[in-house]
Amino acid sequence: MTEVVERPGVPVRPSTRPVPVLGDLRDHPTHPGVLPARERPGGPWAPWSPCGDECLPPRPRAGWLRASRRLCALACVVASAVVAGFVLPLLRPAGRDRLLRALLGGALRAAGVRLEVTGSDTLRPDDGRGALVVANHLSWIDVLALGAVSPVRMLAKREVAQWPVIGTLAGKVGTLFVDREGLSTLPGVVDDTAAALRDGALIGVFPEATTWCGAASGEFRRAPFQAAIDAGAPVRPVTFALRTADGRPTTAASFVGDQTLGDSLLRVLRMPSVVCAMTISPVLEPTGDRRSLARRAEAVVRSA
């Protein structure tokens, strides 16, 4: 079946690439397809997703009291994280990891998100090596979930460094920042990532480069996989799915389109419950070229 995507100001052309669907999303309209790279706004290299407001259900009218309670709890966790930012450099690696896991797991619980992990209880390979952790990207929830299982050094867009509180904490835990509009800096980022992997770090990256609603998904970019090949480090595929308390897939907790972080957070705080299902798949050895490695990792993430 040929699917057509309509976007204002962008030529319409059929896309034959199938769009993965997670369960029954009949109550949540989703975008029907994906534009070819050459027709995307900003060009083929710019981060882009077709997911927007049409992927989200209407804003909930209830849940304000629930949101207020959770917001207070979340503020307490954030305050603890600010204090912890001064303590982290003084701790040994094991103690730092335990503290980060406690803070990030506490933030999820405060927001009303229940984390369910299957496949493994850690992101680190059994032999203790560093690893490139790659996952599909649905929401800000994904970042917290990764760190709640095994603290990772994230590969993040440069703008995150300027965010209040979050940017400061991200810098303290070794986040690698990427200028997504300056391709000339990409080789340096790959080299820095490879060096961190050789040192035994867990590097987290979302190869889709931006968030998707879950009913549609993006192709994995190849550049991060070059770092794994250069370092001889394995790739750990991780799959995220967001569900309601009764197990139904939902796009309500996705962070897509023109949403602000505050709007997305408020949606989650007002929901009765959100389940973040995280599947940790066996590691992939860095064989072949980056194109084939990216495709293998993407296939594992989608199949899980």
pLDDT 10s digits, 29-43: 444 444 444 445 444
The pLDDT value given to residue 18: 35
Give the pLDDT band (50/70/90) at residue 188: confident
Indicate whether 186 pLDDT > 90: no
Closest CA to 28 of 265, 217, 250: 250
Give the pLDDT band (50/70/90) at residue 47: low
The pLDDT value given to residue 210: 84
Average of per-residue pLDDT across 44-69: 80
The pLDDT value given to residue 164: 62
> Among 22-31, 161-170, 176-185, where is mean pLDDT lowest?
22-31
The pLDDT value given to residue 234: 97
Indicate whether 218 pLDDT > 90: no
Which pTM does this prediction carry?
0.81
Indicate whether 118 pLDDT > 80: yes
Indicate the DSSP class of residue 210. Answer: S
Specify the DSSP element, H or E, that contains 137.
none
3-state secondary structure of 255: coil
Average of per-residue pLDDT across 22-33: 40
Indicate whether 260 pLDDT > 90: no
Closest CA to 300 of 282, 278, 277, 276: 282
Q: Which pLDDT tens digit goes with each residue over 272-285?
A: 989 999 999 999 99
What top-level class would CATH report for the domain 62-303? alpha beta
**CA dist list (Å): 29 to 6, 150, 255:** 15, 34, 15
Query: Taking all residues of the chain, what is their mean pLDDT, rounded to a whole number?
Result: 81
Q: Name the residue with higher pLDDT: 92 or 183.
A: 92
Q: Please give the share of the chain, as a percent, with pLDDT higher than 70.
A: 77
Q: Kindly state the greatest CA–CA separation across the chain.
A: 58
Residues in the chain: 304
The pLDDT value given to residue 76: 95
Closest CA to 216 of 35, 8, 14: 35
> Among 138-147, 257-266, 273-282, where is mean pLDDT lowest?
257-266
The pLDDT value given to residue 183: 61
> Among 81-90, 110-119, 291-300, where is mean pLDDT lowest?
81-90
Q: Can you tell me the distance from the alpha carbon of 173 to that of 276, in angstroms, rounded to the nearest whole number? A: 23
Indicate whether 1 pLDDT > 80: no
Average of per-residue pLDDT across 213-236: 91
Q: Which pLDDT tens digit goes with each residue over 234-257?
A: 999 999 999 998 889 999 999 988
> Among 71-80, 149-158, 278-287, where is mean pLDDT lowest?
149-158
Average of per-residue pLDDT across 203-226: 88
The pLDDT value given to residue 280: 98
The pLDDT value given to residue 249: 92
